[in-house]
Every structure is written in C-alpha cells, then in structure tokens.
C-alpha cells in the first residue's frame, strides 16, 4: 500500500494532535494548548436566504439538540467592540480567520466585521458564502470589493450543481440566487484582485455523485476561470442527538461515500493526485485536473467529539459566536474560552 493509500484508508485513527505544534496560551485563567494551525471562525449570524436540503450549518448546531436561533449581542457598537477585543486577545496566536454563518454577507454587520478583521494581524482570511450577495452593494461598494479591500485570501462559494435547475432544487433559495452568470463575473474579478475563489460542491445522490459528474462540474467551471474546487462528503454525525428530521432523512438518503468515489478517481488519469492530509476530524485529498486544483474531503463529527473529549486541554479551533463568547466549539454554551460578561438575549 502506498503512503497516500495508507493515510486514506487508516485516516482518523492515525491522527495524533500531540505530534503537531501546540502553543501554551492563557484564556483569562484557563490554561490551554492551542493547535498551531488554529482557525478562528466568526459565526456572523444564523440567518440565510437559502434553505438547502442538506444544510450543514443547521446540522452542526442541531447536532447538539438545541434550537437554531442563537442568542446575540443586540447592540451593533457593543458587538463590534467585543469582536475587536477578542481578536486583540488571540492575536499572539497568529490565527487564520474564517467568516461564516448562516449567510454572512447578508448581515447588516458584515462590512464593519470585515473592517475590524482587517485591522488585525491575521495570517489568512477566508469567507464561506452561497455567493448570492457578492455583486450587491453595501453603501458605495459591492460585497466582493469589501472582501478585496479587507485583503481576504479565499472566497469559498457553495454550489451543488452546474445545472441551475438541479442546483435550485437542492439549494432552495427564498430570496436571491447565485447563478452561473454571476459566477462568470465573480470568478475572474476575484482572481484579478488576489482573492482566490473556490467552489465547494457537496456530493449528493440527487446532485454530483460520481467521477463523471465531478469531471463535468470541473470542466464547466474551468471555462468560467475557476482553478480551485472542493468536493465534500456529507459529514457523519451522531444521529441520537439530532433533531432536524427533514434534513436527517434527506442526508441519509443522499450520502455519497468518498470511499466509493475514490476507487473511480484512482482509475481516471485526468485526476493526478499530489497530496493528502489528515486533520483532527477531516481528511483531504488533492489532485490536479487540467489546471484546476481539486480536493475531496470527508469529515466526521463523531470523531471530532471523541478527539476533543480525549484532549480537553487542547484547543483545535475557535469560534466567535454572536453572543460574544469565544469558544473551542460550534456550540455557544460549550467549551467557553473567553466568556462575554454581559447578558444577551
């Protein structure tokens, strides 16, 4: 078995955080070891103008059997002050920052959040969006220009299919849309301004589900100028604690296993593998396909929970929640690192 295959097939059980760089850090009296490659996600808001049948953001949250609406700091100025305070506190950790939600670009706070992030010394800046607002204006600038001016490095846009009709059936928008026509404007413009766009395609039986579909997806968007695409497997999670019946049933019916897809990828000479890597609950393979960097990723929330409970002094990732807490978890009451000391609704 090659080294590549060994990592692929033994994955999560081989991950050992103790072999990675860990930084001693004091979170207001809580002494922790922070993963050297740590990312801080700013979860802007839970609102989204789409209701994707598979929505991972809702799954993650409802995974903990909690209501989806998160408590938040109501006052805008106080929210900005707190975000600035938290970013200042963690600045010595040299974190990367991801902006996420819900749909973060639709938040009235979006522009100011980007400006605050830009004031800090952030290693890498990424946003994950459905893309529907990128060409819209907030004041005198488009959302895309706000990201460019904020020196963002990566722009992750979710799109499940190149065929608009199929995509709309899966990514059910109630307002706005990110069409292929929009992407034909967004991709070259972003590239020209050093903001690297990446399309993120969730593998689904209803959507892209095999190597042939992946190749068509890559070739379709390659023509629009994209040079970076990720295909994701639906995450595994603990079904016992889930409460979103509709999405659970959909995901169960629609899951495409990368283990099956990889067998086909291995036989297809257009996919030239060059790297694979193991994260604490995810595994990524990278290939070159023509001039496009193609990744495939599998992730497992059960592994994430186990890994974290085995190493409670380690911070793998950080999330700044709308309630002002900085946590080592996507759940705003769990694993609080910096607690916001005022009351929120």
Residues interacting with ligand SF4, by CB under 6 A?
A: 48, 50-52, 55-57, 102-103, 130, 158, 171
Nearer to ligand SF4, 48 or 344 (CB): 48
Q: Strand runs (DSSP E) across 173-271, as ranges? A: 196-202, 228-232
CB of 51 to ligand SF4, least distance (A): 5
DSSP label at residue 224: T
Nearer to ligand SF4, 134 or 171 (CB): 171
CB of 169 to ligand SF4, least distance (A): 13
CB of 114 to ligand SF4, least distance (A): 18
Q: How many angstroms separate the CA atoms of 293 and 180, rounded?
A: 20
Beta carbons of 194 and 145 less than 8 angstroms apart: no
Nearer to ligand SF4, 102 or 328 (CB): 102
CB of 77 to ligand SF4, least distance (A): 27
Beta carbons of 172 and 51 less than 8 angstroms apart: yes
Beta carbons of 287 and 274 less than 8 angstroms apart: yes
Nearest to 296 by CA among 216, 223, 210: 210
Nearer to ligand SF4, 60 or 193 (CB): 60
CB of 242 to ligand SF4, least distance (A): 16
Nearer to ligand SF4, 102 or 324 (CB): 102
Full DSSP string of 37-83: T-EEEEE--S--SB--TT-HHHHHHHTTT--SSPP----HHHHHHHH
Q: How many angstroms separate the CA atoms of 149 and 110, rounded?
A: 13
Q: Determine the Cα angle at 90 with ends 86 and 96, to 5°.
A: 105
CB of 101 to ligand SF4, least distance (A): 6
- HSE (side-chain half, CA atoms, 13 Å) at 125: 20
CB of 7 to ligand SF4, least distance (A): 28
Nearer to ligand SF4, 128 or 228 (CB): 128
Nearer to ligand SF4, 105 or 329 (CB): 105
Q: Strand runs (DSSP E) across 106-220, as ranges? A: 125-129, 137-138, 141-142, 154-158, 196-202
């Amino acid at each position: 078995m090659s080294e590549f295959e060994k990592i692929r097939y033994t994955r999560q059980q081989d991950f050992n955080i103790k072999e990675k760089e860990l930084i001693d850090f004091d979170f207001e009296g809580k002494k922790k070891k922070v993963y050297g490659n740590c990312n801080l996600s700013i979860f802007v808001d839970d609102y989204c103008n789409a209701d994707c049948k598979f929505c991972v953001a809702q799954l993650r949250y409802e995974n903990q059997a909690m209501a989806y609406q998160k408590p938040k700091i109501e006052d805008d100025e106080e929210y900005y002050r707190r975000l600035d305070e938290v970013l200042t506190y963690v600045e010595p950790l040299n974190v990367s920052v991801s902006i996420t939600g819900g749909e973060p670009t639709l938040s009235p706070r979006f522009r100011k959040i980007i400006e605050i992030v830009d004031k800090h010394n952030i290693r890498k800046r990424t946003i994950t969006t459905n893309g529907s607002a990128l060409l819209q204006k907030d004041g005198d600038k488009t959302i895309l220009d706000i990201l460019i001016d904020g020196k963002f490095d990566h722009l992750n846009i979710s799109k499940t299919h190149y065929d608009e009709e199929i995509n709309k059936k899966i990514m059910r928008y109630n307002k706005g849309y990110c069409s292929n026509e929009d992407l034909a404007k967004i991709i070259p413009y972003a590239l020209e301004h050093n903001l690297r766009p990446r399309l993120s395609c969730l593998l689904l039986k209803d959507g892209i589900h095999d190597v042939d579909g992946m190749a068509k997806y890559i070739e379709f968007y390659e023509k629009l100028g994209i040079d970076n695409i990720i295909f994701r497997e639906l995450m595994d999670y603990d079904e016992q604690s889930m409460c979103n019946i509709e999405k659970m049933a959909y995901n169960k019916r629609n899951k495409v296993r990368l283990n099956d897809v990889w067998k086909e990828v291995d036989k297809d000479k257009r996919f030239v593998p060059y790297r694979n890597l193991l994260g604490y609950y995810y595994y990524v393979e990278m290939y070159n396909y023509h001039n496009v960097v193609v990744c495939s990723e599998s992730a497992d929330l059960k592994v994430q929970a186990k890994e974290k409970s085995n190493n409670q002094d380690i911070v793998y990732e950080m999330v700044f929640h709308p309630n002002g807490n900085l946590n080592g978890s996507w759940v705003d009451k769990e694993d609080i690192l910096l607690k916001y000391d005022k009351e929120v609704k």
